[in-house]
Amino acid sequence: MNDPRDTQDSGTPGAPVRSGIPEHGRIPKYYAVKTRLETLLDELGEGGSLPTERDLAARFGVARETVRQAVRELLIQGRVRRKGRGTVVAGPKLEQPLSLVSYTEGVRRQGKVPGRSLIGLDRMPAGAELAQQLGIGQTDPVWHLERVLLADDERVGLESTYVSVDRFPHLERDFNPDSSFYAFLRDQLGVRFAAAEERIETVLATPREALLIGTPPALPMLLLNRVSRDTDGRPVERVRSLYRGDRFSFTTHLSGA
């Protein structure tokens, strides 16, 4: 005989088993409200405005804090986003490929307009870690290029790029910080990327990072650390990219040996 709880399974591919219902069958109130809110989001469509917490609490017969917790989870998942003093239905997450393409190319493939806002372009000594990653001396200077990542003018991430000053001595003069750094290296300097080592982890933004990206400090972030190499095997750049976990997912292609 089938377990009656199985009737609440979602038919959506990739949905959680039993839609997140514990084996004992007792569902927290906030989760029940969240499930009903997800149905409401589908009805409202992208950009639709959610009713106020007070109205939702009255509709579902729960406390406002229960509604608040359900909405917080939907914010973290990227199903909704803040707009002014209200909350609206968010669009689908941006899918960034794990490959040797720039942020600009990845965003354009999804019909969005990529952009960057310059925080700073500074010279600094490499130090031990950067020197090892870039194959230079510890006291050799590096450029630190820090920019906020944009998609359709929405702040979605923060990117720090480090390159050797000796290899790229006129970066502050020749590079437009609003443009793609990969395109600049390829088209103006003839640099071709051939390989990269990349590590991905989940972190919380620092207060400074959260302020720059425009998110609450408690929002999970996806952190990518990459060292890219050219066709001669020389390190070109070390990049630290912080992406909003509610707005980004990453994809890659796998094949058998």
Looking at mean pLDDT, say which of 57-66, 77-86, 101-110, 209-218 comes out highest: 57-66
Report yes or no on 180 lying in a domain: yes
3 state SS of 2 = coil
**Whether residue 143 sits in one domain with residue 228:** yes
pLDDT value at residue 25? 60
**Mean pLDDT, the chain, whole residue set:** 84
**Whether residue 210 sits in one domain with residue 157:** yes
Report yes or no on 256 lying in a domain: no
Band (pLDDT 50/70/90 cuts) for residue 256 is: low
pLDDT value at residue 23? 56
**Rounded average pLDDT over 40-66:** 90
**Rounded average pLDDT over 54-82:** 87
**Whether residue 23 sits in one domain with residue 112:** no
Rounded to whole angstroms, the Cα distance separating 235 from 168 reads 13
Element (H, E) at 105: helix 103-108
3 state SS of 73 = helix
pLDDT value at residue 5? 38
pLDDT value at residue 14? 55
**Whether residue 108 sits in one domain with residue 85:** no
**Rounded average pLDDT over 218-235:** 91
Query: Cα dihedral sign for 216, 42, 109, 251?
Result: positive
198 or 148: which carries more pLDDT confidence?
148
**Whether residue 73 sits in one domain with residue 11:** yes
pLDDT value at residue 6? 38
Element (H, E) at 74: helix 64-77
**Whether residue 213 sits in one domain with residue 101:** yes
Dihedral of the alpha carbons of 21, 24, 28, 29, in degrees to the nearest 10: 90
Band (pLDDT 50/70/90 cuts) for residue 257 is: low
pTM exceeding the 0.85 threshold for the entire prediction: no
| Out of 126-130, 213-217, 236-240, 253-257, least confident range | 253-257
**Whether residue 108 sits in one domain with residue 74:** no
pLDDT value at residue 35? 87
pLDDT value at residue 159? 95
pLDDT value at residue 3? 41
Beta bridge partners of 143: 123, 163
Look up residue 109 and give its DSSP letter: T
Domain of residue 70, CATH code: 1.10.10.10
**Whether residue 104 sits in one domain with residue 35:** no
Look up residue 70 and give its DSSP letter: H
**Rounded average pLDDT over 180-201:** 91
pLDDT tens digits, one per residue of 110-148: 778 889 999 999 999 999 999 999 999 999 999 999 999
**Rounded average pLDDT over 141-168:** 94
| Number of folded domains that form the chain | 2
**Whether residue 42 sits in one domain with residue 153:** no
| Out of 21-30, 32-41, 74-83, 86-95, least confident range | 21-30
Domain of residue 109: give its range. 94-251
